[in-house]
Structure 1
């Protein structure tokens, strides 16, 4: 029984040296982005709409791209931007996929429903830049956002939606109603109607998209529950969905596999 919902969603207090991860990510991201720019295989700050955060970075493989991966970052819809995650494109790029990474307007300047629409627009613009199939991946809040693209009646334009072939939410949030019990909702501003509408686990999934909800085995119980929930519910509704626990990983290092072209996570997203 959960009585402290703030603690249920608090990752940093339960991860050793948690404060070291953001600068580590930023350093690796800057190094990878610089390498791709020097090779002429990166396009930075491509606009996908009006506003300073409606920008995406596109990292291209050395040869022809097999298709497009779109990675959406997390941060509880309130923190971070595309620039500290660039290194997570390396695994897919080395498997000859292009990778787009959008920023988006953060709460409270945008509600979650607005961010959902921004990500749909970002995917559509990235899809105009790279042909072939599209795979979607996202971490934490980004997991919720890419899962929303896999819901029936979701916000993706038809042309981009028809090209989507798989979705990988990583440590995602799929039932947003408990967040109304947290202090962070003072920033998010969720009410019951929006929490229900933006919860993938409460929506009907598209049944033509394989979905793997990855989650670290050492994550907070609520993140394990949420990933198992969406996989179970969507399987019951006819989707090809499963939950895959990544052994020995917590919320901050579960995404490390995206940098490795040989990891099972990367192999699923960019075969």
Structure 2
């Protein structure tokens, strides 16, 4: 048995007591961005949460232009895409369109269900672009890695094999078994088998593309270990990988650079988009 206290390592709200104010800032900044950059909303499924907000860049409507995707976090059990509209600001300033999907939450659905929902969202977004650069935060980082590792031709023969060309995971989770004994799992309802089956660290690594895994400098040792692990394992399998830290950031501030057109995070995503 591990002597790591997983509850302490993964309970981000307990680790960052000021999280309510930080999250309120997300909501406020997101609403303000929507006021000046109203998104186009498209559906990828029948449910009320099966929606994607698309914040248009200068090449919107050109299927050959890259499309960035941001998948929100919340431990697969909280929030929705509307909390993160302002995450489109950085790339929009460079003319790149950004799609922000929402998904159903645990315990109403399983983590495996959410992975499938994001695949459905990517299939819908393939109508807008055949080059998706997928980023995500926390649970969204996990989902971004899952999208990169998906065999798109096996999923839908009509899709390009490299639909998701790269993933940029911020504070991602790639090995879910450590969550099983924690309070976080009350809603997730994972056991050892389902946790392992939904852990991209143990999937067949992508045949192409790249993965950036970055973590807030002030985050727990387990979050750093998770990102280093997938960078090492997938890198050994031939995937182009890169590990990095967001200086002085905690779990809730690590995504702030996405809203800044001049940040190194935004510029890296611009580079990945080939712009």
TM-score relative to the length of structure 2? 0.91
Contact 1:61 1:97 in 2 (8 A): yes
Q: Return closer, same or farther for 1:62/1:230 CA change in 2, 3 Å cut-off.
A: same
Does residue 1:33 correspond to 2:29, yes or no?
no
Question: In 2, Cα distance between the equivalents of 1:50 and 1:261?
Answer: 34
SS at 2:245's partner residue? strand
Question: In 2, Cα distance between the equivalents of 1:47 and 1:230?
Answer: 32
Does residue 1:250 correspond to 2:250, yes or no?
yes
Partner of 1:58: 54
Partner of 2:147: 149
Question: In 2, Cα distance between the equivalents of 1:156 and 1:50?
Answer: 19
Partner of 2:40: 43
Contact 2:162 2:208 in 1 (8 A): no
Number of positions where the alignment pairs a residue of Structure 1 with one of Structure 2: 265
Q: Structure 1: give runs of 5+ residues left out of the alignment.
A: none
CA shift for structure 1 position 110? 0.7
Partner of 1:124: 123
Instruction: Give the CA RMSD over aligned residues.
Output: 1.8
Question: In 1, Cα distance between the equivalents of 2:223 and 2:139?
Answer: 11
Does residue 1:77 correspond to 2:73, yes or no?
no
Q: Return closer, same or farther for 1:160/1:16 CA change in 2, 3 Å cut-off.
A: farther
Partner of 2:101: 102
Question: In 2, Cα distance between the equivalents of 1:111 and 1:81?
Answer: 16
SS at 1:162's partner residue? coil
Q: Return closer, same or farther for 1:53/1:166 CA change in 2, 3 Å cut-off.
A: same
Question: In 2, Cα distance between the equivalents of 1:34 and 1:10?
Answer: 33
Contact 1:120 1:157 in 2 (8 A): no
Partner of 2:16: 15
Bigger Cα displacement from structure 2, 184-193 vs 249-258: 184-193
Question: In 1, Cα distance between the equivalents of 2:224 and 2:58?
Answer: 37
Output one character per residue of 1:180-217: Cα deviation in whole Å (capped at 9) or x when no partner.
11122221111222211111111121141111101111
Question: In 2, Cα distance between the equivalents of 1:179 and 1:164?
Answer: 27
TM-score relative to the length of structure 1? 0.92
